[in-house]
Structure 1
């Protein structure tokens, strides 16, 4: 089971819950319908990758980045930690899945599809998300534009699925998603936490 370090101690990661279509401007840029409730899908925890290198899969030539705020659940259904993450999506595969009414697992759950930064203690505040690809700023937004508050997402997921300590919630991406290719160099930022990533 993948393990992250939080507050100086190892924390195994259990289920990865992902929220789709949680920013209105991102819904519009992809031409999707507005959801009546949170759109939830899962990533296997084997999709987690950390560090300064990101390897793209060979089965797709249209991998999109989605910069997201990531919540780490603690004991008692409390949000313990927060980090920045990249939800990688094989957009070409996802489009076929949508057309045929198939699950999104291949499009969203492949190896290295869930890059995570370092977790720090959670504060119930507005966070700033930033992604630069080479010299181009692709995503720069704040979490106050989310359709759902953090506690709303936790309550919704817990009622349906039963959250446990070690679960992770990827809270969705703002506008600006686009393609990544090998050779890209990323700058990912959550507030003052900055990461440099090489894509291969």
Structure 2
């Protein structure tokens, strides 16, 4: 359950969908072609970690990396209920191995606390997401900073494409991709992610 800002309501999480390579600069830094169609993958709902929680450093990796993202909270198949800021934590060394061997990214993306998310800001399908700015700091140092205007696929495009491949339901979260600047984090690092200074997320790797 994720708190909804300005309300006593809680948002019940169902599935977590993620979009890969949705910012051209990040696609290039990962060695992929930004002109390809959206790449979707998923995480189970139990990977979501509420804002303000400590996150244990996952096993089997020596390269845990952060990916700040705009997160859409879905009210129904193609209706956006609200948005949040989230971080798609990734065991990058396991992802690189999976890519090399042509295997799914499951081991790289799925572990306890892999999807920390802030409170949800209620909105609707007419909201202009292009004015939102994402920023992530590690121990006070800016690592990622970008405008949602730089997305290759807009939130509306993402929802439309995903609905063509999966049954999007109320309670689903959609991580819309990360900008350039992903980097390694370690135990005791303090991560702060925010959107326009209006919604933020803080957690520590322990």
> Structure 1 length as normaliser, TM-score?
0.94
- Are 2:169 and 1:164 aligned? yes
1:68-93 alpha-carbon deviations (Å, 9 max, x no partner): 00000013521011000000010000
| SS class of match (1:148) | coil
Distance 1:74 1:32, change over 3 A: same
1:119-142 alpha-carbon deviations (Å, 9 max, x no partner): 001332321111111132100111
User: Runs of 4 or more off by more than 3 Å in structure 1?
Assistant: none
1:145 corresponds to which of 144, 150, 153: 150
| SS class of match (1:94) | helix
Q: Aligned residues, how many?
A: 198
| SS class of match (1:68) | strand
Instruction: Report the counterpart of residue 19 of structure 2 in structure 1.
Output: 19
Richer in strand (by share)? 1
> Structure 2 length as normaliser, TM-score?
0.91
**Are the counterparts in 1 of residues 89 and 109 from structure 2 also a CA contact under 8 Å?**
yes
- Are 2:185 and 1:180 aligned? yes
Distance 1:76 1:94, change over 3 A: closer
Give 5+ residue unaligned stretches, structure 2: none
Instruction: Report the counterpart of residue 78 of structure 2 in structure 1.
Output: 77
1:60-115 alpha-carbon deviations (Å, 9 max, x no partner): 11000000000000135210110000000100000110111111111001111100
Give 5+ residue unaligned stretches, structure 1: none
Measure the CA separation in 2 of the matches of 1:127 and 1:10: 24
Cα RMSD (Å) of the superposition? 1.4
| SS class of match (1:164) | coil
